[in-house]
Chains A and B, each alone.
Chain A
Amino acid sequence: MSAEVGEQATLDALEAAAEGSVCLLDPPERVAGSRLRARVEPAYGEALAGCLDVLSRHGESVLVMGSGTRMHWGNPARGVSVALSSRRLNGITEFDPADGVIQVRAGTPLSEVSRRVESEGWLLPLDPSGAGGTVGGALATASCGPRQRGFGPVRDAVLGIDTVLASGERTRCGARVVKNVTGYDLAKLYVGSLGTLAVIEKAWLRLKPIPACVHQVERSFDAVEDAFAQALAASRRSSARAVGLVAEPPSVPGAHPGPWRLLAEFAGEEPTVRADTEWLVPGAAPGVEGEGVVEELRARQAACSEAGLHARIHLLPGALAGVARRLRERGAHLVVYPEPAVVHARFEPEAGDPGPDGCDGVLGLLEEIRGAGAAEIFIESLPAAASRERDVFAGAGCLELMRAIKGRFDPDGILNPGRFAGGI
Chain B
Amino acid sequence: MSEKFSNPEAPSPILIERLSGVVGEDNCLSRPEELFAYGCDGLTLDAHLPSAVVLPRTSDQVAEAVAICREFGHAFVPRGAGTGLSGGAVPLNGAVVICCSRMQSILEVDADNRLAVVQPGVVNAHLSEAIRHLGLFYAPDPSSQQACTIGGNVAENSGGPHTLKYGTTTNHVLAVEMVLPDASRVRLGSPTGFAPGYDLVGAAVGSEGTLGIVTEITVRLVEIPEAVETVLAIFDEVPAACRLVGGIIRSGMVPAALEVVDQRTIRAVEASVYKAGLPTDAGAVLIIELDGAACEMDGQLQRIGELAEGEGVREMRVARDAQERALFWRARKGAFGAMGRLAPDLYVHDAVVPRAKLPEVLEEICAIGDRHGLTLSNVFHAGDGNLHPNISFDRRDPDELARVLAAGKEMLELCVRVGGVLTGEHGVGTEKRDYMGMLFEPADLDAMRRLRDAFNPDGVCNPGKLIPTTRACTESNPKARGYDEVPL
Residues of A participating in the B interface, judged by any CB pair closer than 8 Å = 96, 98-101, 121, 142, 152-153, 155-156, 163, 165, 169-173, 175-186, 188-189, 191-193, 197-198, 209-212, 236, 238-239, 268-272, 274-275, 314-318, 340-342, 374-378, 393-399, 401-402, 404-405, 407-409, 420-422
User: What is the CB-to-nearest-CB distance from B361 to chain A, in angstroms, rounded to a whole number?
Assistant: 12
Interface centre among A181, A271, A318 (most CB of B within 10 A): A181
What residues of chain B lie closer than 8 Å to A407, measured between beta carbons? 454
Contact, CB under 8 Å: A402 / B352:
no
Which of B54-62, B271-279, B415-423 has 4 or more CB atoms under 8 Å from chain A? B415-423
Ranked nearest first, the 6 interchain pairs of A and B with the lowest CB-CB distance are A188-B202, A209-B252, A408-B450, A314-B192, A269-B296, A393-B196
Cβ of B315 under 8 Å from chain A: no
A183 touches B428 (CB 8 A): yes
B192 touches A402 (CB 8 A): no
* Chain B nearest Cβ from A157, distance in angstroms: 12
- Which candidate, B28-36, B89-97, B336-344, B441-449, is the interface stretch facing chain A? B441-449
The answer to whether B353 has its CB under 8 Å from any CB of chain A is yes
Q: Out of A96, A184, A375, A421, which one reaches B192, CB within 8 Å? A: A375
Contact: A340 with B192, CB < 8 Å? yes
Task: Decide if B355 is an interface residue (CB 8 Å cutoff).
Answer: yes
Neighbouring A residues of B439 by C-beta, 8 Å: 175, 182
Is B197 engaged at the interface, CB distance under 8 Å to the other chain?
yes
* Binary interface encoding of chain B residues 185-217 relative to chain A, with 1 for a CB under 8 A from any of its CBs, else 0: 011101111111111111101110000000000
Contact status B299-A318, CB under 8 Å: no
* A185 and B170 contacting across the interface, CB-CB below 8 Å: yes
- Using known A-B contacts A184-B206, A184-B466, determine if residue A192 contacts B446 with beta carbons closer than 8 Å: no
The proximity string for B residues 347-366 relative to A, scoring 1 for CB distances below 8 Å and 0 otherwise, is 00000111110000000000
Residues of A within 8 A of B225 (CB): 238
Decide: A179 and B197 in contact? CB cutoff 8 A.
no
Question: How far apart sit A153 and B199, CA to CA, in the bound complex (Å)?
Answer: 12
17 CB contacts below 8 A, A to B, read A98-B356, A175-B420, A180-B352, A181-B427, A182-B422, A183-B444, A184-B448, A184-B466, A186-B451, A188-B203, A209-B249, A211-B252, A271-B296, A272-B295, A316-B191, A340-B194, A375-B192
A312 to B: closest C-beta gap in Å: 8
Interface flag for B312 (CB, 8 Å) = no
Q: A179 to B352, Cβ gap below 8 A?
A: yes
Q: B187 contacts which chain A residues (CB < 8 A)?
A: 397-398
Q: Do residues B197 and A402 form an inter-chain contact, with CB atoms below 8 A?
A: yes
Contact B295 A275 (CB under 8 A): yes
**Shortest Cβ distance from B254 into A: residue:** A209
Residues of A within 8 A of B112 (CB): 317-318
Which residues of A have CB within 8 Å of B448?
173, 183-184, 186
- Cβ-based interface call for B42 (8 A): no
Q: Are B444 and A173 in contact (CB under 8 A)?
A: yes
| Cβ contact within 8 Å between A179 and B355 | no
CA distance A404 to B212 in the complex (A): 15
Interface centre among B188, B252, B253, B423 (most CB of A within 10 A): B252
Closest to A275 in B: B295
Q: Does B251 sit within 8 A of A, measured CB to CB?
A: yes
Q: Complex: how many Å from CA A210 to CA B292?
A: 18
Additional A-B contacts beyond A209-B253, A314-B190 (10; CB < 8 A): A156-B167, A173-B444, A181-B425, A182-B432, A209-B251, A314-B193, A315-B192, A317-B112, A401-B455, A408-B454
A184-B207 contact in complex given A172-B441, A192-B199, A212-B252, C-beta closer than 8 Å: yes
Q: How far is the CB of A340 from chain B (nearest CB, A)?
A: 5
A402 and B202 CA atoms in complex are apart in Å by 13
User: CA of A178 to CA of B423 in the docked complex: distance in angstroms?
Assistant: 12
Q: Which among B193, B196, B226, B254 is the interface contact of A378 at CB below 8 angstroms?
A: B196
A189 touches B113 (CB 8 A): no
A163 to chain B minimum Cβ distance, whole angstroms, is 8
Give chain A residues whose Cβ lies under 8 Å from the Cβ of B292: 238, 269, 272
Taken together as a complex, chains A and B put the C-alpha atoms of A271 and B226 apart, in Å, by 14
Q: Among the listed B226, B251, B300, B447, which residue makes an inter-chain contact with A165, where contact means beta carbons less than 8 Å apart? A: B447
**Residues from chain A with Cβ under 8 Å of B262 in the complex:** none
B475 within 8 A of A: no
Do A96 and B186 have beta carbons less than 8 Å apart?
no
Interface residue? B385 (CB, 8 A) = yes
Residues of A contacting B423 with CB < 8 Å?
Answer: 180-182
Q: B440 at interface (Cβ–Cβ under 8 A)? A: yes
Do B419 and A177 have beta carbons less than 8 Å apart? yes
- The smallest beta-carbon distance between B397 and chain A, in angstroms, is 30
Contact A184 B451 (CB under 8 A): yes
B195 touches A179 (CB 8 A): no
Contact A396 B191 (CB under 8 A): no
In the complex, what residues of A have CB within 8 A of residue B432's CB?
182
Rounded to whole angstroms, the CA-CA distance of A244 and B82 in the bound complex is: 44
Tell me if B384 and A179 are in contact (CB < 8 A): yes
On chain A, the residues within 8 Å of B168 by CB distance are 179, 181
Chain B 154-175 near chain A by CB (<8 Å), digits 1 or 0: 0011010001000110110000
CB nearest to B180 among chain A residues: A401
B250 at the interface (CB under 8 A from A): yes
Minimum CB–CB distance from B91 to chain A (whole Å) comes to 21
User: Is B424 close to A, CB under 8 A?
Assistant: yes
Chain B 320-344 per-residue mask, 1 if CB under 8 angstroms from chain A, else 0: 0000000000000000000000000
Q: Are A179 and B293 in contact (CB under 8 A)?
A: no
Known contacts A156-B167, A209-B254, A376-B194; A189/B451 CB under 8 A: yes
- Inter-subunit contact A272/B296 (CB<8 Å): yes
B11 contacts the other chain (Cβ, under 8 Å)?
Answer: no
Q: Are A182 and B436 in contact (CB under 8 A)?
A: yes
Which of chain A's residues have a CB closer than 8 A to the CB of B170?
A: 185, 188
Contact between chains at A155 and B202 (CB < 8 Å): yes
User: Known contacts A177-B420, A340-B193: does B384 contact A185 (CB below 8 Å)?
Assistant: no
Return chain A residues, CB-CB under 8 Å to B198.
Answer: 189, 192-193, 197, 402, 405, 421
Contacting pair B447 A401 (CB below 8 A): no
Nearest CB on A from B326, distance (A): 24
Name the distance in Å between B420's Cβ and chain A's nearest Cβ. Answer: 6
Residues of A within 8 A of B378 (CB): none
Q: How far is the CB of A245 from chain B (nearest CB, A)?
A: 17
Residues in A with CB closer than 8 Å to B199 are: 142, 155, 188-189, 191-193
By the criterion CB–CB under 8 Å, are A152 and B171 in contact?
Answer: yes
- Complexed CA–CA distance, A405 and B448 (Å): 11
Q: Which residues of B contact A397 (CB under 8 A)?
A: 186-187, 195, 197
